[in-house]
């Protein structure tokens, strides 16, 4: 009897142990699945930063400073531009504002509260701006904007890209039938093409192969320097840093895709990323919105990048501007690019750039902006510097620094009405009942622990256009 009880106890102990081990395995799997190594690297850095009191500044002071000091410079003179450029490699904000004692946690919590508050209001559609919808004038044929969807994608991502397209079609394009361009560094398989064509019977669909010389690492890259750079990035835990194709992809989305022969005939593009989610109906024509309101760039999410990946992007850019001061826009979002309050160590490690960027896996933009001399000669300068390979310059920070310096900030638009998810981040608006599929609570940015990576609130405070009302 005693022996039997003993056995029973051992059995149940074993069961408890098995249950705990299973649970740990499960949690590990989920965490690994949803975590990009990059974020943990950044979080790792924050752990040291969280200790102790830091001097920070309140956000209302921030917005006050910028609206008064710089927005008034409507003069387009070279002098005004030189004055701005002169500031770009000087230490930002800390010297310019009076300090407020706040822990980093308090500061981030305040920021995040500000972000969440933006989402408590019911979001409809942009107000005070031109909106066009199909069916507005039923007696006239609807004229599409000069625009296309574009997806750089691998054959192996067929299922994930079908998932994205299905959502784009059902929330938007089944009313408009805008065309699609698919680009690949390899030939698209017959299966890929067949499946996509079947999915899009009403849109013009084109498949393009990227020329080797446009995709591959250019010959000016010093291989020893590249190897050294990649090693440093790996040591810093920067995601995908040892993956050559990832560097190629970032470079191609930065300065290549809009030159592809299939893209030449279009002005606006909407990037289609495999495996993302579009939750809500989009009832107006986003492409026409861009055109009719003179928008250059539209986004949904803004976040910080891994500073090691863009260590020299800012100094290289400032160097370019010193040689070509005419390209900076006097009403540009330069102050936002130099924000150094929320993640000051990013700003330091990226030598003057906050690393805040529009997340480019969703973007709608004007390719003629990229094709103009400001962006395109800057891109040549970046190519010479080689940071796409010596570091891991992403197309997102490159687009953001480009539009953030060469465009008028009022021509950059946050599409807050678009419900969107690319792991692990959301744009989750509060919309009328029935307009969205099941989605996390309004104002959700990410699962726990990543709030400090959100910099959209800084965009709203420091750069968002006056007419950007919903
Ligand atoms: N044809 C092709 N497309 C690529 C290649 N690498 C990336 N892409 C595409 O470029 C886009 C971005 O690549 P992702 O791997 O999603 O990069 P990411 O969004 O930074 O990383 P994740 O967080 O893993 O999604 C996707 O549309 C990919 O399909 C490549 O080597 N060849
Ligand atoms: C569309 O835009 C492209 C790029 O600006 C231009 O070359 C093309 O002529 C335009 N097409 C139409 C129909 O306006
Ligand atoms: Mg992706």
Instruction: Give 91-150 pLDDT, tens digit per residue.
Output: 765 545 556 677 778 888 888 898 998 899 999 999 889 999 998 888 999 999 999 999
Structure-token pair, residue 423: 């792991």
What pLDDT was estimated at residue 30? 60
CATH architecture of residue range(s) 147-468 = Alpha-Beta Complex (3.90)
User: Which DSSP category does 56 fall into?
Assistant: E
Q: What's the 361 CA to ligand 3 centre distance in angstroms? A: 6
Angle between helices 190-199 and 158-168 (to 10 degrees): 10
**Does residue 73 surpass a pLDDT of 80?**
no
Q: Determine whether the shortest distance from the Cβ of 35 to ligand 1 is under 6 A.
A: no
Would you kindly state where each structural domain of the chain is located, as residue ranges?
A: 2-87, 147-468
What pLDDT was estimated at residue 276? 97
- The ligand 2 atom at the shortest distance from the C-alpha of residue 146 is 1
Residue the block writes with tokens 């943990």: 40
Q: Which residue stretches of 59-138 are H helix?
A: 59-69, 78-88, 104-118
Structure-token pair, residue 256: 């290549």
**Does residue 47 surpass a pLDDT of 60?**
no
For residues 262 and 181, the answer to whether their CB atoms sit within 8 Å is yes
**Does residue 324 surpass a pLDDT of 90?**
yes
> Whole-angstrom Cα distance, residue 50 to residue 238?
21
Q: Residue 151 — left, alpha, or beta (φ > 0 → left; ψ -120 to 50 → alpha)?
A: beta
Q: Determine whether the shortest distance from the Cβ of 146 to ligand 2 is under 6 A.
A: yes
What global pTM score does this model have? 0.86
> Whole-angstrom Cα distance, residue 180 to residue 200?
9
> Whole-angstrom Cα distance, residue 362 to residue 354?
21
Identify the burial level of 175 via C-beta atoms within 10 angstroms of its C-beta, where 0-12 means exposed, 13-18 middle and 19 or more buried: middle
What pLDDT was estimated at residue 89? 85
- Of 26, 69, 60, which Cα lies nearest the Cα of 330? 69
> Whole-angstrom Cα distance, residue 311 to residue 307?
6
For residues 166 and 199, the answer to whether their CB atoms sit within 8 Å is yes
- The ligand 1 atom at the shortest distance from the C-alpha of residue 151 is 27
Residue the block writes with tokens 């891109």: 379
Q: Determine whether the shortest distance from the Cβ of 265 to ligand 2 is under 6 A.
A: yes
Structure-token pair, residue 181: 């361009």
Measured between its terminal Cα atoms, the distance across the chain in Å is 75
Closest ligand (CA of 272): 1
Structure-token pair, residue 53: 């009191």
Q: Hey, how many other C-beta atoms are within 10 angstroms of the C-beta on 378? A: 23
Q: What's the 380 CA to ligand 3 centre distance in angstroms? A: 26
> Whole-angstrom Cα distance, residue 343 to residue 365?
28
- Of 123, 103, 87, which Cα lies nearest the Cα of 53? 103
Ranked by mean pLDDT, which of 118-127, 277-286, 444-453 comes out on top? 277-286
**Does residue 39 surpass a pLDDT of 60?**
no
Structure-token pair, residue 244: 């050559």
What pLDDT was estimated at residue 100? 67
**Does residue 459 surpass a pLDDT of 90?**
yes
For residues 182 and 162, the answer to whether their CB atoms sit within 8 Å is no
Q: Which residue stretches of 51-89 are H helix?
A: 59-69, 78-88
Phi, psi of 469 (to 5 degrees): -105, 145
**Does residue 210 surpass a pLDDT of 50?**
yes
For residues 309 and 346, the answer to whether their CB atoms sit within 8 Å is no
Residue nearest to atom 4 of ligand 2 (CA): 267
> Whole-angstrom Cα distance, residue 373 to residue 411?
18
> Whole-angstrom Cα distance, residue 361 to residue 421?
10
**Does residue 69 surpass a pLDDT of 90?**
no
What pLDDT was estimated at residue 72? 43
Q: What's the 332 CA to ligand 1 centre distance in angstroms? A: 29
What percent of the chain lies above the pLDDT cut of 90?
Answer: 70
> Whole-angstrom Cα distance, residue 226 to residue 224?
5
């Amino acid at each position: 009897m005693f022996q039997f009880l003993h056995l029973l106890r051992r059995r149940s102990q074993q069961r408890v142990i098995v249950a705990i081990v299973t649970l740990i395995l499960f949690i590990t799997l989920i965490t690994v699945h949803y975590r990009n190594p990059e974020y943990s690297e950044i979080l790792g850095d924050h752990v040291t930063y969280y200790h102790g009191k830091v001097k920070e500044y309140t956000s209302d002071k921030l917005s006050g400073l910028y609206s008064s000091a710089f927005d008034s410079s409507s003069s387009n003179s070279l002098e005004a531009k030189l004055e701005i450029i002169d500031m770009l490699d000087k230490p930002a904000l800390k010297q310019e504002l009076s300090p407020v004692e706040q822990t980093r946690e308090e500061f981030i919590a305040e920021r995040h509260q500000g972000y969440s508050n933006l989402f408590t209001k019911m979001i409809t559609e942009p107000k005070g701006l031109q909106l066009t919808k199909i069916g507005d004038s039923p007696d006239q044929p609807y004229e599409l904007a000069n625009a296309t969807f574009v997806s750089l994608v691998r054959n192996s991502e067929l299922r994930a890209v079908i998932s994205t397209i299905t959502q784009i079609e059902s929330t938007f394009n089944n009313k408009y039938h805008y065309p699609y361009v698919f680009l690949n560094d390899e030939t698209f398989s017959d299966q890929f093409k067949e499946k996509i064509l079947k999915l899009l019977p009403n849109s013009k669909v084109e498949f393009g192969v990227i020329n080797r010389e446009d995709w591959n690492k250019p010959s000016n890259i010093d291989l020893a320097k590249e190897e050294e750079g990649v090693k440093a990035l790996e040591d810093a835990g920067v995601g995908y840093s040892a993956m050559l194709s990832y560097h190629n992809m970032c470079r191609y989305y930065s300065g290549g895709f809009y030159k592809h022969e299939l893209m030449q005939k279009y002005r606006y593009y909407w990037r289609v990323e495999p495996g993302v989610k579009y939750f809500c109906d989009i009832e107006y024509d986003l492409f026409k919105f861009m055109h009719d309101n003179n928008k250059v760039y539209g986004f949904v999410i803004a976040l910080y990048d891994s500073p090691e990946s863009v260590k020299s992007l800012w100094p290289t850019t400032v160097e370019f501007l010193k040689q070509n001061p005419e390209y900076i826009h006097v009403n540009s979002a330069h102050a936002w690019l130099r924000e150094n309050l929320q993640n000051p160590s990013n700003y330091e490690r990226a030598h003057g750039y906050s690393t805040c960027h529009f997340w480019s896996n969703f973007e709608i933009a004007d390719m003629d902006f990229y094709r103009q001399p400001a962006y395109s000669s800057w891109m040549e300068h970046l190519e010479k510097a080689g940071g796409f390979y010596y570091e891991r310059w992403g197309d997102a920070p490159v687009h953001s620094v480009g539009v953030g310096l060469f465009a008028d900030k009022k021509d950059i638009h946050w599409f807050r009405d678009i419900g969107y998810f690319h792991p692990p981040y959301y744009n989750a608006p509060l919309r009328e009942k029935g307009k969205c599929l099941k989605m996390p609570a309004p104002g959700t940015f990410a699962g726990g622990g990543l709030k400090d990576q959100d910099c959209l609130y800084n965009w709203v405070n420091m750069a968002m256009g006056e007419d950007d009302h919903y």
